[in-house]
Amino acid sequence: MVAPDPYSYPPRGLSREGAARYIGVGATKFDRLVTDGRTSKPKRIDERVLWDGLLVDSAFTDLPDAGSVNFSKAPYT
């Protein structure tokens, strides 16, 4: 057993739902981002499927900015 750690760390490995929530989209939209290569593929640890939070973060940074979209009139979700 590992001794308790007095510090709190965010998880590096994120579930599908956790990775989607982290970047602010639903799980179905996240699946599309993975399928079309706009975010990273998952890693497998035995039966668990996890996304590397650092790679998800980097992929989100690489997404294009909204530019000059008028958010009061254009659908952006």
Whether the predicted pLDDT of 77 surpasses 60: no
pLDDT confidence of 7, banded at 50, 70, 90? confident
**Token pair for 16:** 């599908």
The values of phi and psi at residue 41, to 5°, are -80, 160
> Given pLDDT bands bounded at 50, 70 and 90, which one contains residue 8?
confident
Element (H, E) at 62: helix 53-62
Which tokens sit at 66?
A: 């909204």
Give the model confidence (pLDDT) of 12-68 as tens digits.
999 999 999 999 999 999 999 999 999 999 999 999 999 999 999 999 999 998 876
- Exposed, middle or buried by CB within 10 Å (0-12, 13-18, 19+), for 55? middle
Q: Specify the pTM.
A: 0.77
The predicted model gives 69-76 an average pLDDT of: 61
Structure tokens at 33: 């981002």
